[in-house]
Amino acid sequence: MKLAVVSVAVLLVIVVASPVSARAGGYGDDGDDDTRSWFPLDNLLSLKYYDKICPNFEKIVDTKVKEWTKTDPSLGPALLRLIFHDCGVTGCDASVLLDHEGSERRSPASKTLRGFELIDDIKSEVEKSCPGLVSCADILAAASRDAIFQLKGPYWANAYGRRDSKTSYARDVEKVPSGRRDVTGLLETFQSYGLNVLDLVVLSGAHTIGKAYCGTIQSRLYNFNGSNGTDPSIDAKYADYLRRKCRWASQTVDLDSKTPVIFDNQYYINLMKHEGVLSTDQELLKDSRTAPLVAALALQPSEIFRQQFAVSMMKLVNVGVLTGEDRDGEIRKVCSKSNSGIY
Ligand code: HEM
């Protein structure tokens, strides 16, 4: 109870202090040294970037996202994960989309990423109206935002003007956290993006939608830390449920078993009941830096989570962007290939 009271106060202070309106850029906080990851971007990305050069851009993306997710609703969560895996590696530069030997996309850790065909389809449609003007990185930012909105998530105004990377290396994929880091490791990773502890807890709430492969959580269920037993931080009944759902590594389980297709704060309620699917999720309740925020987000109406999620996403989609005349960047003609085709 005490934890809950403290946590509500903590969250309210942070949420009130957070900029809820859309804004293109960082705020120079968090003491990050990496100039590519966090610095004021006000003159680089712009809310009006496509207003004159490709006014239909967002309309095209929205229509395509609606069309594809109607046929396959699992693409919504897939797009959200895809942008995290793009921004979390070398910044939001569409490097995750390049498809050649040795690229991020070909790394074993990227095996379960999806949504590439939808992005390719959007790109070819956008190219018909505005050839050579819209980057794949901007398409990914717009499409993931629209996909979240389709799932009753928040909406925010995106700033655009990202350029696409010319390179992509599988070895860089280790920068994105997998399911087995402790909170210190997660915080260090998020800090390297210029994101803080609130961003970590709030963006982890993306696991209120989507699925995990049973292979990803098998060790938690059957052989936790080589013990031949179950991870003691999972509720016993919930562990039974997961074992019933997970007969094979190739099966999947909802990351939020209660409201798997609604973008709400149920993820945090689940964590409070020790019903987190990934160990990195449940860890957030064990650590004194993150537990009060988990409790607060569980107790508060979903709207608080949704608003803060929009704020943290606006920060995430600005991480390490290539802009302006940056020579490392280009506007790819096809999202899976660099324009030169040389790697
Ligand atoms: C905090 C560190 C994070 C870790 C360790 C992590 C790890 C994972 C893992 C292991 C899966 C299951 C993948 C599989 O079994 O194939 C997953 C799924 C997912 N992740 Fe994360 N994730 C993290 C943060 C994020 C963030 C920041 C976002 C987005 C903002 C995100 C969005 C998703 C989504 C939507 C899915 C479901 C994908 C689908 O259904 O296709 N994750 N994550």
Concatenated DSSP letters for 129-178? HSTTTS-HHHHHHHHHHHHHHHTT----PPPB--BEES---GGGGGGS--
Catalytic-role residue among 23, 85, 220, 332: 85
pTM: 0.90
Output helix, strand, coil percentages for the chain, rounded to the nearest 5: 50, 5, 45
- Would you state the pLDDT for residue 11? 56
DSSP state of 29: -
Q: What is the pLDDT along the chain (343 residues), one digit of tens a residue?
A: 444 444 545 555 555 444 333 223 332 333 333 434 444 444 589 999 999 999 999 999 999 999 999 999 999 999 999 999 999 999 999 999 999 999 999 999 999 999 999 999 999 999 999 999 999 999 999 999 999 999 999 999 999 999 999 999 999 999 999 877 899 999 999 999 999 999 999 999 999 999 999 999 999 999 888 888 999 999 999 999 999 999 999 999 999 999 999 999 999 999 999 999 999 999 999 999 999 999 999 999 999 999 999 999 999 999 999 998 777 899 999 999 999 988 7
What pLDDT is attached to residue 305? 98
Instruction: Please provide residue 299's backbone torsions phi and psi, each rounded to the nearest 5 degrees.
Output: -80, -35
Q: What is the pLDDT of residue 162?
A: 97
Is residue 207 part of an annotated ligand binding site?
yes
- CA distances 74 to 82, 254, 298, Å, are 12, 11, 25
Q: DSSP assignment, residue 160?
A: B
Cβ atoms 51, 328 nearer than 8 A: no
Give the residue, by CA position, lying nearest to ligand 1 atom 35. Answer: 77
Task: Give 241's contacts (C-beta < 8 A, 6+ positions apart).
Answer: 257
User: Could you say which architecture CATH assigns to the domain 22-176+317-330?
Assistant: Orthogonal Bundle (1.10)
Annotated ligand binding at 301? The verdict is no
pLDDT attached to residue 327: 76
The residue contributing the CA closest to ligand 1 atom 2 is 177
| pLDDT at residue 38, as a whole number | 45
**Extents of the domains making up the chain:** 22-176+317-330
Task: Pick the closest to residue 272 from 243, 297, 254 (CA basis).
Answer: 297
- List the Cα angle 264/254/238 in 5-degree steps: 100
Cβ 207 vs Cβ 248: under 8 Å = no
Closest residue by CA, ligand 1 atom 3: 177
Count CA atoms within 13 Å of residue 334 on its CB side: 10
Probe residue for ligand 1, chosen from 68, 207, 282 as the CB with the greatest number of ligand atoms within 8 Å: 207
One-letter amino acid identity for 179? G
Radius of gyration of the chain from its Cα atoms, rounded to whole angstroms: 20
